[in-house]
């Protein structure tokens, strides 16, 4: 089975998925394609261009990459902002996306989401493991710059961040089996979002990590990888 892994905001392969790529997901069972989105990781320069089309553009480019590589059937794993792109891929490539796994998922931008992301301008509140991985990938100064640009985009773009993201109607059209994972102590995600995603996506199930935060794939890597592997191989 071919897997496409999509990192979160400003994230890249080395910052977001070391616990999946370094033996966490079995390469005897999976062919893994992990990407750095335009403007992040090694897909820079140029710098990230922000607009209302940012996520659709990411999804189109990811789909084009998989087609160019010759993978016409694959499953998609997406975290946080990567979950948005994964959802779009599943919507727009119904015949190609075999299964979908998302965590830190946001069906729409709520007031809670805006407040939560605004607080993260102070990156000292990041989970220590996540912050260390970002700094290792970018260096302290560039990490701060990239993250502040992302926060500004989410909070103030066109004066209405809701315009950037609301996919609730389109989520109903997803046909592939979908696994939604969620950390119940995630401070960034509106507590209504995982249940909303499960309700809207027809063939979906929700798995909760009672003590998990936003980065459950890092802090609960062994359990996370097993749950995901079992789902993909069903």
Domain range enclosing 18 = 2-110+164-233
For residue 229, tell me if it sits in a domain.
yes
Instruction: Please report the pLDDT score of residue 162 as a whole number.
Output: 59
The predicted model gives 20-36 an average pLDDT of 97
Residues facing residue 205 across a β-bridge: 179
Task: Give the count of domains, the chain.
Answer: 1
Specify the CATH number for the domain of residue 96: 3.40.50.1820
Contact residues for 123 (Cβ-Cβ < 8 A; gap 6+):
131, 143, 144, 147
Return the active site residues: 80, 186, 214
27: in domain: yes
Q: In what order do the strands lie in the sheet with 74-79?
A: 31-34, 2-6, 74-79, 97-103, 178-183, 204-209
Confidence of residue 74 (pLDDT cuts 50, 70, 90): very high
User: What is the pLDDT at residue 160?
Assistant: 59
84-128 per-position pLDDT tens digit: 999 999 999 999 999 999 999 999 988 898 899 999 999 998 989
Report yes or no on 131 lying in a domain.
no
In-domain check, residue 153: no
Tell whether 127 is covered by a domain.
Answer: no
Q: Is 141 part of a structural domain of the chain?
A: no
Location of structure tokens 């590589």 = 69
- Domain membership of residue 193 (yes or no) is yes
pLDDT digit string (tens) for 162-187? Answer: 567 899 999 999 999 999 999 999 99
Query: Are 41 and 11 a contacting pair, CB within 8 Å?
Result: yes
Give the whole-angstrom CA distance, residue 54 versus residue 56.
Answer: 6
Let me know if residue 117 belongs to a domain. no
Omega before 46 within 30 of 0, i.e. cis:
yes
Residue 6 bridge partners (DSSP):
78
Burial class (CB in 10 A: 0-12, 13-18, 19+), 56: middle
More confident residue, 209 or 154: 209
CB 88 within 8 A of CB 107: no
With tokens 């990490």, the residue in question is: 143
Angle separating helix axes 140-156 and 111-119, nearest 10 degrees: 160
Going by C-alpha positions, the residue among 171, 165, 170 that lies closest to residue 109 is 165
pLDDT in tens, 123-164: 998 989 899 999 999 999 999 999 999 999 888 765 555 567
């Amino acid at each position: 089975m071919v897997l496409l892994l999509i990192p979160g905001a400003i994230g890249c392969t080395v910052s977001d998925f070391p616990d999946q790529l370094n033996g966490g997901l079995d390469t005897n069972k999976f062919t893994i394609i992990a990407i750095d989105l335009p403007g992040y990781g090694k897909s820079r320069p140029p710098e990230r261009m922000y607009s209302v089309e940012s996520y659709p553009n990411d999804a189109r480019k990811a789909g084009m990459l998989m087609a160019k590589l010759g993978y016409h059937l694959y499953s998609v794993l997406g975290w946080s902002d990567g979950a948005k792109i994964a959802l779009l891929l599943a919507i727009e490539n119904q015949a190609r996306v075999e299964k979908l796994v998302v965590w830190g998922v946001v069906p729409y931008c709520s007031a809670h989401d805006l407040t939560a992301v605004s607080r993260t301008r102070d990156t000292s509140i990041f989970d220590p493991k996540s912050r260390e991985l970002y700094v290792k990938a970018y260096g302290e100064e560039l990490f701060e710059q990239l993250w502040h640009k992302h926060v500004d985009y989410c909070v103030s773009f066109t004066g209405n961040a809701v315009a950037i993201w609301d996919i609730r109607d389109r989520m109903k059209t997803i046909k592939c089996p979908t696994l939604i994972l969620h950390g119940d102590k995630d401070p960034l995600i509106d507590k209504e979002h995982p249940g909303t995603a499960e309700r809207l996506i027809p063939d979906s199930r929700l798995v909760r990590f009672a003590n998990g935060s936003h980065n459950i794939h890092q802090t609960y890597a062994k359990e996370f990888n097993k749950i995901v592997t079992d789902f993909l191989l069903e």
